[in-house]
Amino acid sequence: MAEAQPSQEPSQVAAFGAWLATPIIAIGELALFFFQSIAAIFRPPYRVGSLFAQLDFMAFGSLFVVGLTGLFTGMVLALQTIYAFGLFNAQSLVGATVELSLARELAPIFTSIVVVARVGSAVATELGTMRVTEQIDALETMAVDPYNYLVVPRVVAAAVATPLLTMLFNAVGLFGAYCVSVFLRDMAPGTFLNRLSALVEMKDLTDGLGKSAVIGFVVIMISAYRGYKASGGARGVGIATTQAVVGGLIAIFAIDYVYTAITLSSTASRGGGLGG
Amino acid sequence: MSTLAAQAKVDADRPMIDVKDLYKSFGGTPVLKGVSLRIMPGTTCVILGGSGSGKTVLMKHIIGLLKPDKGEVWVDGVEITRLRGRELQDERQKMGMVFQNAALFDSMTVGDNVAFPLREHSPFSEQEIAEKVKDKLGVVSLFDVEKKFPAELSGGMRKRVGLARAIIRDPKIVLYDEPTTGLDPLTTESVDEMIITARAKLGVTSVVISHDIGSAFHIADYIAVLHFGRIVEEGPPAKVRKSEEPHTKQFLSTWFGRT
């Protein structure tokens, strides 16, 4: 018994070290992947054809689902806001509140969730399958940089497509909220639109679009990373896809908080408010 | 003229691939333990070994997909383990690789797969590329398959397309990763003939990693037997066949002992 103790301690230390090292190595690999991918963006050849193919898949292919999500979000937001603001007779603020919520928060975040679910999973699966079937190794042996060929068109397309889809979400969401307020809740169109132009500024829209561009870029980078590092056949690709979606969702909310905190700190200094 | 002749002699005497004292470990587990191997120009060398012997790791070092812990890999007079980025990409263009499962891009047609290296790296027109694709597919005895997708081909045909893609830029070296694994005897025979034909028609240096003893003795000019990260026997097939080295003897007995 007395001899067993010294042999156990080093193994426990080693186990703790391994437990500590795993996330550090993962973060280091992810950081390296980010760095290599960003460096590849500025390195020729510039694959414009691949970029447009990805834009077609990410933006055009997501129009319907983003539009539908935006429509229902705007409609339910109108119902909830009319109910809540009716409690203290402030229906004139419904239009502005809905649009502020959509522009600053709901449109970028819901659009990003759709992008992770539809595009992120596809990117992780496609790259993961290419990895486990040695297609990425084949690219390298043919002297083609996989970062330049596979990752760059996808992350750049995501950074462009996500804000475009967010704009669509905004527009359709506001349309849905207007229809519910005016046609189903008998609100006068002027009441709905009254404070909209006064309270919603261009910066509210651009903050939301900027946020969605950053989120789109990062979540598709995470998806590409998971696919690129996949191993172990079909099961490995499945795990990579799950990790891509889960990692993407966490990244959305983490970036949302940091980005909002930064942009709101500069907005507060303008001295704006409801009274404006 | 004498200088050129002297240079030609130096080139002929210099190995196309020279692996020097190569070591590689993964997660503390040694996979290559001091491998040295010289492969002369225009020959077919088969690296023979069982599962886990380090064959694939050795091949990935030759093409620069892995960096060694220690040792050197000289390819056509260039030490490639120290190369990175563009320099490594330039050096890789001297080599073509045929993967175990062909690793064709399944979203592209056969024609686009074979044309891919040319579209990436050469100034040829589409018409010239189409002619070269047809020519190389002819070398591997495939005709009128340009418009098909890889999923529409048999395993043997996919390997042929993989070889056509590997040789489209006329490389000096072709590497084959387990070319006959999982194939029926007739297809194995046809893949062996494909390797022999490619060497005869193109004069390339071929490196084949395999555990298929029958195929190895059919196609090789030189055989190196790899056992748990060390080359335990090497030489022309006739010499290896008579080897008294215990691991080689045991490994070869699984084939020759039965036939």
**What is the pLDDT, as a whole number, of residue B5?**
59
Q: What is the pLDDT of residues B96-139, one digit of tens each?
A: 999 988 899 998 999 999 999 999 988 899 999 999 999 999 88
Contact A140 B92 (CB under 8 A): yes
List all residues 6 or more positions away from A17 whose beta carbon is below 8 Å from its beta carbon: none
Q: What is the pLDDT of residues A203-225, one digit of tens each?
A: 889 999 999 999 999 999 999 99
pLDDT > 90? residue B258: no
Residue with tokens 């060929």: A149
DSSP A45: P
b/e for B189-223, b at 16 or more Cβ within 10 A? bbbbebbeebbeebebbbbbbbbbbbbbbbbbbbb
**What is the pLDDT, as a whole number, of residue B193?**
87
Quote the mean pLDDT of chain A: 89
pLDDT > 80? residue A1: no
H or E segment and range at residue B96: strand B95-98
State the amino acid at position A165 in one-letter form: L
Nearest-by-CA chain B residue for A138: B103
* Average pLDDT for A134-163: 94
Contact criterion met (CB below 8 Å) for A123 and A223: yes
* Average pLDDT for A35-48: 93
Phi, then psi, of B97 in degrees rounded to 5: -130, 135
> Could you report the predicted ipTM of this complex, rounded to two decimals?
0.83
CB atoms closer than 10 angstroms to residue A189: 12
Which of B62, B66, B94, B105 has the most A C-beta neighbours within 10 Å, making it the best mutation to test the interface with A? B105
pLDDT > 60? residue A8: no
Q: Find the CB nearest B120 among A133, A137, A142.
A: A142
**Can you tell me the distance from the alpha carbon of B113 to that of B162, in angstroms, rounded to the nearest whole number?**
8
Residues in A touching B161 (Cβ below 8 Å)? none
Q: What is the least distance, in Å, from the CA of A140 to any CA of chain B?
A: 8
Please give the residue that has the higher pLDDT: either B224 or B7.
Answer: B224
Q: What is the least distance, in Å, from the CA of B251 to any CA of chain A?
A: 28
Most confident of A260-274, B64-78, B240-254: B64-78
Contact B65 A141 (CB under 8 A): yes
pLDDT tier, B73 (very low <50, low <70, confident <90, very high otherwise) = very high
**What is the pLDDT, as a whole number, of residue A273?**
47
**What is the pLDDT, as a whole number, of residue B1?**
46
Q: Which two tokens stand for residue A144?
A: 């083609």
**What is the pLDDT, as a whole number, of residue A4?**
46
Q: Torsion angle of alpha carbons A31, A36, A39, A42, nearest 10°?
A: -130
Residues in A touching B97 (Cβ below 8 Å)? 138, 141
pLDDT tier, B6 (very low <50, low <70, confident <90, very high otherwise) = low
**Helices of type H across chain A:** 4-41, 48-58, 63-86, 94-101, 107-115, 121-132, 135-141, 146, 152-179, 189-193, 196-199, 202-228, 233-268
pLDDT tier, A51 (very low <50, low <70, confident <90, very high otherwise) = very high
pLDDT > 70? residue A5: no
Q: For chain A, what percent of residues have pLDDT higher than 90?
A: 70
Quote the mean pLDDT of chain B: 88
Nearest-by-CA chain A residue for B169: A142
pLDDT > 70? residue B33: yes
H or E segment and range at residue B13: helix B2-13
Chain A to chain B Cβ contacts (< 8 Å): 42
- A33-37, A225-229, B181-185, range with the lowest pLDDT: B181-185
Residues in B touching A135 (Cβ below 8 Å)? 103-106
Contact A134 B116 (CB under 8 A): no
Which of B75, B92, B114 has the most A C-beta neighbours within 10 Å, making it the best mutation to test the interface with A? B92
Give the pairing of strands B205-210 and B173-177. Answer: parallel
Contact B121 A143 (CB under 8 A): yes
Contact criterion met (CB below 8 Å) for B16 and B64: no
- A7-21, A162-176, B4-18, range with the lowest pLDDT: B4-18
pLDDT > 50? residue A33: yes
Contact criterion met (CB below 8 Å) for A248 and A120: yes
Phi, then psi, of A187 in degrees rounded to 5: -85, 140
Q: What is the least distance, in Å, from the CA of A18 to any CA of chain B?
A: 12
